[in-house]
Amino acid sequence: MSREKQTQLKKDVAPYEKVDTQASIRQLVNTLVPLILLWYVAYLSLSISYWITLPITIFAAGFVIRTFIIFHDCTHMSFFKSKRANAIIGTITGVLTFVPYEQWKYTHVMHHATSSNLDKRGVGDIWLLTVEEYEAAPLWRKVTYRIYRNPIVMFGLGPIAIFLVAYRFNRKGAKRKERLNTYLTNASIVGLSALLCWAVGWQAFLMIHGPIFYVSGLIGIWLFYVQHQFEESYFEHEDEWSYVKAAVEGSSYYKLPKPLQWITGNIGFHHVHHLSPRVPNYNLEKAYNHTTPLQKATTITISTSLKSLKFRLWDEDTKSFVTFRRSTVMKMANVSEQKYVQPLPIRITSYRRGTKLNEHKHS
């Protein structure tokens, strides 16, 4: 894609960056009200059967994800026109999703600015090694990386490790405003949890909010993972890296059924979002439908996205993700090609016609 086309593509999407305050308020209402009601219904259902409660908590988890999308838009200043309004709603929804607003805003903006850049990894992204880096790594680092990339660890332990533990601490180098926001978020989470425990009992609280927290966290990590870690994604070093290419080729269009698209706040149009983070989530589909080049992005579905679970390393030679096994096979093939058999020295002697070579003697 030429620079002219990249510039034009950004211009084509610009009209959809306009914030619709009424649409934002409607989304707040149709997200938070159902979340609160489902929580209450889940509590009432405990007196009947926990097997009724569990499905309700899963539905509620969907609205936590939708709440996170609102929070996410606030960090991009794309949910309200007012910076103050974005900060207030962002902090409140951050409490509901266990994520500190200012900290996420910093790391996520860094993620957008460095996405798919092999020379600027490590902030707001998923740990990724190239085949070459993995082969050169010491054993302890290989083992650590394998554990980290294991789906059971990433998605099974991830919700607890990230949302319950990691986000309770400030990042190194955080400024005063960011640190205070993290403290405020932590105190609010503790206060709200204590209030609910007092109202319904700590056991009921854990039985209801435990599944809501875990399921929403798991799906959140999955969405973040799958929309960049697909087979023919885009990764380049700084000298070859392009912001537009990283957005359009390094982010996928996760085509979900309409109900799931709605509950996830259109985040499946991830390439559109990365091209222009200022587009509110409720405008992402419109931008996609009216911008032809965006319709050519890699499209994945629920079934095809499951293939990404096996991808572990980025191969710079093939420009694609590979499995650990595939990486090993490629390494062995390269070693085999480099080996060669030294030819045995051949002694050539002259002999008369009709004389056997082994019987010939020099006089």
Cα–Cα distance for residue pair 3/152, rounded to 1 Å: 41
Share of the chain above pLDDT 70, in %: 90
Residue 274 host element (H or E): helix 270-275
pLDDT at residue 349 above 70? no
pLDDT digit string (tens) for 252-297?
A: 999 999 999 999 999 999 999 999 999 999 999 999 999 999 999 9
pLDDT digit string (tens) for 43-86?
A: 999 999 999 999 999 999 999 999 999 999 999 999 999 999 99
If one counts the domains in the chain, the total is 1
Domain hosting residue 298, numbered range: 3-326
* 360 falls within a domain: no
pLDDT digit string (tens) for 80-101?
A: 999 999 999 999 999 999 999 9
Over range 165-193, report the average pLDDT: 97
Tokens of 7: 């510039």
Given this model, what pLDDT does residue 219 score?
A: 97
* 359 falls within a domain: no
Those residues with Cβ within 8 angstroms of residue 218's Cβ, 6 or more apart along the chain or in another chain: 155, 156, 158, 159
**Residues paired with 314 in a beta bridge:** 130, 321
Given this model, what pLDDT does residue 345 score?
A: 53
Cα–Cα distance for residue pair 63/57, rounded to 1 Å: 10
pLDDT class of 355 with cuts at 50, 70, 90 = very low
Whether residue 182 contacts residue 100, with contact meaning beta carbons closer than 8 Å, is answered with: yes
* Residue among 263, 261, 311 at smallest CA distance from 288: 261
* 270 falls within a domain: yes
* 349 falls within a domain: no
* 48 falls within a domain: yes
Over range 114-128, report the average pLDDT: 93
pLDDT digit string (tens) for 180-213?
A: 999 999 999 999 999 999 999 999 999 999 999 9
* 269 falls within a domain: yes
Share of the chain above pLDDT 90, in %: 85
pLDDT class of 122 with cuts at 50, 70, 90 = confident
* Residue among 133, 157, 137 at smallest CA distance from 147: 157
User: Can you give the three-state secondary structure of 200-263, one letter per residue?
Assistant: HCHHHHHHHHHHHHHHHHHHHHHHHHHCCCCCCCCCECCCCCCHHHHHHCCCCEECCCHHHHHH
Over range 120-146, report the average pLDDT: 95
* 114 falls within a domain: yes
How much is the pTM? 0.89
pLDDT at residue 350 above 80? no
Q: What integer best gives the mean pLDDT of the chain?
A: 91
* 98 falls within a domain: yes
pLDDT class of 363 with cuts at 50, 70, 90 = very low
pLDDT at residue 351 above 60? no
Cα–Cα distance for residue pair 189/114, rounded to 1 Å: 31
Cα–Cα distance for residue pair 363/356, rounded to 1 Å: 16
